[in-house]
Each structure stands twice: as structure tokens, then as C-alpha cells.
């Protein structure tokens, strides 16, 4: 989505700065993955300069075959560039190992660390309209 002004531009600008996205003055582009069955996803215009396979997959919604094709292509293209010692099958192993280890490591400290780092003057009741006014 590209914001050219109005409500939400400051929020998008802040996210873009965090993610390192840069565009023309007054314009910030942020990419988002949309669920394939979402009404908005079906209104998105697909650029004509993307590969035919990807274009066809996007036009019909994301499908498991497209995901498998992307995973195969990413593995083939990314594998040679991985640092020595990284498993080329990292994507398939990551989910099973990350979930339990992450929960075990974060579970005990996450709540206290988050609360300790919140500005005491921060108003937890702010909504998007308030954020627009503050910006």
C-alpha cells in the first residue's frame, strides 16, 4: 500500500523507518502479505512485469503449489549464498525448533522486560486518532 497523505501516513512512515524502506518525499511504501481469501486481496492489481507463474498464482490466490514452488526456488537460489554452517533446509526445521526454544527462553522474562521498558508517561488508552493528532 502506498500512502500519499491523510490518516495513517505518520504510522506508515514510522514503520517504514523501522524497516528501512525509502521512497520519494511525501510517499512511503510498505508491503504486506494478504490472506488469499480476503476481499481486499482480490482487488489488488498484479503488475505485468512479474513472472507468468507467479502472476497466475497471485491472480488465483496463493495456493499450496505456489508455496512449494517458491520454497523450491528459494532453496535453490539461496542455498549457495548461505554462510558455511547454515543448514540449507533451515526453513523446514525452523518452525519445530524455534517455537519451543523461543517460548522457553522468553516465557520467564518477557512480561517483566516489556513492562520495565514502557515509558511511564505513555498513555495506554491512545487510539489511531490520538496518534494522528500527536504527530
- For the chain, where are the alpha helices, taking DSSP H only? 9-19, 52-59, 64-78, 90-107, 110-116, 128-134
Let me know: does 3 contact 12? Beta carbons within 8 Å: yes
| Digit-coded pLDDT (tens) for 19-63 | 777 777 777 666 666 666 666 655 656 666 766 666 665 655 554
The average confidence (pLDDT) of the chain is: 61
pLDDT at 11: 74
Residue 98's contacts (CB-CB under 8 Å, 6 or more residues apart) are none
Residue 28 CB-density burial (10 A; 0-12 exposed, 13-18 middle, 19+ buried): buried
What are the residue ranges spanned by the domains of the chain? 63-107
18 versus 121: which is more confidently predicted?
18
pLDDT at 39: 66
Amino acid at each position: 500500500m502506498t500512502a500519499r497523505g491523510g490518516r495513517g501516513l505518520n504510522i506508515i512512515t514510522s514503520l517504514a523507518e523501522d524497516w528501512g524502506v525509502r521512497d520519494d518525499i511525501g510517499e512511503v511504501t510498505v508491503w504486506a502479505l494478504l490472506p488469499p481469501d480476503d476481499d481486499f486481496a482480490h482487488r489488488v492489481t498484479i503488475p505485468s512485469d512479474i513472472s507468468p507463474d507467479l502472476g497466475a498464482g497471485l491472480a488465483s490466490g496463493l495456493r499450496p503449489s505456489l508455496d512449494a514452488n517458491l520454497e523450491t526456488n528459494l532453496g535453490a537460489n539461496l542455498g549457495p549464498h548461505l554462510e558455511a554452517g547454515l543448514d540449507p533446509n533451515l526453513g523446514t526445521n525452523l518452525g519445530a525448533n524455534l517455537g519451543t526454544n523461543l517460548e522457553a527462553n522468553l516465557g520467564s522474562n518477557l512480561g517483566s522486560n516489556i513492562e520495565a521498558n514502557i515509558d511511564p508517561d505513555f498513555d495506554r488508552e491512545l487510539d489511531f486518532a490520538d496518534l494522528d493528532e500527536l504527530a
